[in-house]
Structure 1
């Protein structure tokens, strides 16, 4: 049994296809198939049910894959241990970022980071929080940037900044004359929300402390982007809430529709998160330092109240 064979098993388990798995691990399909067959012969069991389309794991195969993930992850950490001992900041680093943070934060720190740490090969994925947590636990991500707290066992959170919620209120809306808003002014029925899967939507629902679900409202309209929500708001379809950094790119005319909240302003905590067993701490510390440095010039809010991104039943 070899680590390479286990890598091949994990690839097939993930893609449920020998050809795609072979492409993923950069070998020919016959080579991959032969190595998995040799492992099955050695163990005297079948890991995959090849009669199913797509290929499925057998009962014992599921147990083997679970253990193989642990073995492969631990073997990969040997190089991490050496790098950490040498203080080397380089190599591949897989970073997930939630969609409501990616477009505003990434341009602020990426060039600075790559210039200062050219030996780090960042592989960045835009993922919803649920997928991020799963990939961190499976070892498919080294770290992620997400709204916190997430209350996940074995996941550490290092806060990067606190980002206030800002209301975007068109002139046609009853709240437009208000210079500042109070949380109690909000009516969930009149707020345009992001679609399901975005933790910022859950934050708004938690903020409004509504006893009924949004789906019970007489008017339902959800979007996948803040830009769309702003355009819909401009058309008189309702108001919306934006993370502060997203307001910096609005047109000058649209800036006049922004309303801040009375202090303590509702806000989200944006953190870099990682599994407690992660060994690439030197890269995580470098990311934290770079991001915290560039964000200071953009967000100077201190008196805020953190709103949970978790779904509250």
Structure 2
């Protein structure tokens, strides 16, 4: 299983086309198709269904994509952590926050963070718990700052209270 193939599958999912994903990955369409066929042989399952309307993911492909997102995300996190250990504060932080936090505290916090770490790209989107859990699980979000009752937080999600209110 090659990381580049997983990245290309994510590109296919986002762009809806093998050709567009191959272009994004700077490879030929036949090379990408061969890499996907090799992965399908390794998994012994078809991941993509091709038709005149385009390409879609089979049920095997849909199940696999949850893992592909997580693998690619964890690989990126590992690279960023090593770079940080070498003193290079670069990379990307993707998080979600509630609208109230986004309006109240976030602008000042982001200004301070960006001044201290100019090489880090911040990606922020609105979201509330439990709606953000799928993105947390697949690694497309690093964390979320959102109201949640501790008793309601699912066991595979780590929650740290930042503020308590009755």
Name the TM tier (shorter chain). 0.7 to 0.9
1:112 positional shift: 1.9
Q: Which runs of 5+ in 1 are unaligned?
A: 163-266, 268-304, 306-313
Equivalent residue number for residue 24 of structure 2: 26
Q: Which runs of 5+ in 2 are unaligned?
A: none
1:99 positional shift: 2.2
Equivalent residue number for residue 148 of structure 2: 148
TM-score by length of 2: 0.74
- How far apart, CA to CA, are the structure 2 residues paired with 1:52 and 1:99? 42
Please give the root-mean-square deviation of Cα atoms over the aligned residues, in Å.
Answer: 3.1
Equivalent residue number for residue 98 of structure 1: 98
- 2:11 matches 1:11: yes
Instruction: Please identify the structure whose Cα radius of gyration is greater.
Output: 1
SS at match of 2:100: coil
TM-score by length of 1: 0.43
Equivalent residue number for residue 60 of structure 2: 60
Distance change >3 Å, CA 127–CA 36, structure 1 → 2: farther
1:86 positional shift: 3.9
- How far apart, CA to CA, are the structure 2 residues paired with 1:130 and 1:53? 34
* Structure (1/2) with the larger helix percentage: 2
Number of aligned residue pairs: 160
* Structure (1/2) with the larger strand percentage: 1
Equivalent residue number for residue 123 of structure 1: 123
1:47 positional shift: 1.9
Distance change >3 Å, CA 32–CA 129, structure 1 → 2: farther
Distance change >3 Å, CA 74–CA 104, structure 1 → 2: closer
- 2:148 matches 1:161: no
- How far apart, CA to CA, are the structure 1 residues paired with 2:4 and 2:104? 39
1:157 positional shift: 2.4
Pairing 1:35-46 to 2, within 5 Å after superposition: 35-42=31-38, 43-44=40-41, 46=46
1:18–1:32 CA contact under 8 A, matched in 2? no
1:22 positional shift: 3.0
